[in-house]
Amino acid sequence: MSLTLTLRLCPPGVPLKGEPLKTVEGLTAALVARPGALRVDVATTAATTAEARWLVRQLVDALRAAFPVGALGLRCARGASRALARALTLDLASLHGALRPPPERPAPALPDDLAALAALEASYRAWVDEDAATRTSLKIAEDVLAYAAATEGVEAQVLDADALAALGMNLLLAVGGASEASPPRLIVATYGDPSPDAPPLMLVGKGITFDSGGVNVKPYEGFVSMMRNDMGGAALAWHLFRGLVAADFPAPLVVVLPACENLIDARAVRPGSVIKSHRGLTVRVDHTDAEGRLILADALSWASAKYGPSEVVTFATLTTAALNAYGPFATPVHFAPPALERALARAAEEEGEDLHFFPYRAWHHEANRDHTAQLKNTARLNGNASAGAGSRNAAHFLRFFTDSPLTHLDIFASTWDWSGQAPAGTRHGATGAPLRTLLRALMAYELGR
């Protein structure tokens, strides 16, 4: 028989009721066992809400290993962290469809905003988790067009390979040229009538629906079996756009999703190829597994010229270096202007997600220069400094393709549960991060301008 597990969040320093449990540092807990149910009083001294979420995740996993836990419930004692309670409530609703109440209490009404956010986050995770054979560029385009047709104020268009060729988006065409099932597409949706008098906030997301690595085949150790998640940037940008539209975002919006599949056949781009980008800059494809920045480059260049955005925010599972350098839960954020950085930092603390901020540096920018073409897609710093800068260098590559203020999030580490210990409790697959932080931050940032 499965048991209902109820977590009761308590403020630190308050005596907990029940049998003390051995826990990880920063967390105290006590267990009360009743027929068919367990209740655990929990208190944490973690410095951040993100750490507290992670600590609670470890406790829940340990209890699941020791007991036949079925439904999960949540209660909040007076004085407990409201931010942690909200984050855990959203985790339960997003992962399980609804908050499961303790059996002796009526079901708590989930606030409308949390219910909507939970559903949006679940859809974002579902896109990233979906098999690459079905979540193709064509399917992404179909879903965007359907949403636009059903949503007032939203318009969408899809540029196919012929349109991309006519516009000179040769980088996107080169990366996706080997796939018929998920061919190159540029998918665009607008909200609020962007114009020169009302420049939009532009969201751009990398949509590599599967990444084999191309001719430079990605090895097993390079997580090739999980590369359906390489469209996580497009999934995040799209669901963020939907969330901002639902929240009546007070400025025009544009979302741009370059989408294709990085495969191998006679039409695959060769290492060493020099390709002229939409912006006119030539790029040497030094390595075909550094493809995400190439499709983002053409998308940034075309959309920046067409829409004249006030600001651009890009999202991409861009580099394995983000995981290697910053760990399994962190999202490096590059170039955020001070006001947006403050909004993101505040939102991340409230939502329990882990963001780290990095400024522009000339040496990372110049590392993208090439001796054959104007740029190369595998930037390197000189000598012994070449290692460890992959996420930084790739972010600076994108700056060559837009003159608008650019903020870039490398979500490779945070949007997938690489460790099996992600704070949201997904155990494997997509985590939903950092959607909830971005929704809160961009609304606060725009309203504060």
| 214 contacts 152 by C-beta, under 8 angstroms | no
Look at residue 417 and give its three-state secondary structure.
Answer: coil
**CA dist., res. 286 & res. 235, Å (int):** 27
The span from the CA of 185 to the CA of 177, in Å, is 11
Closest CA to 201 of 119, 54, 308, 123: 308
206, 218, 279, 284: which one is catalytic? 218
Q: Spot the catalytic one: 8, 53, 228, 293.
A: 293
What is the Cα gyration radius of the chain? 23
The closest of 272, 314, 283 to 172, measured between CA atoms, is 283
- Give me 272's structure tokens: 């060493």
Tokens of 442: 């961009």
Bridge partners (DSSP) listed for residue 204? 256, 314
Active site residue 86: no
d(CA 120, CA 129): 14
Which amino acid is it at 358? F
Q: Mind spelling out the 3-state secondary structure of 272-300? A: CCEEECCCCCEEECCCCCCCHHHHHHHHH
User: Which residue has tokens 């912006």?
Assistant: 279
Alpha carbon distance 174, 224 (integer Å): 20
Mark whether 293 is an active-site residue.
yes
Active-site positions read 218, 293
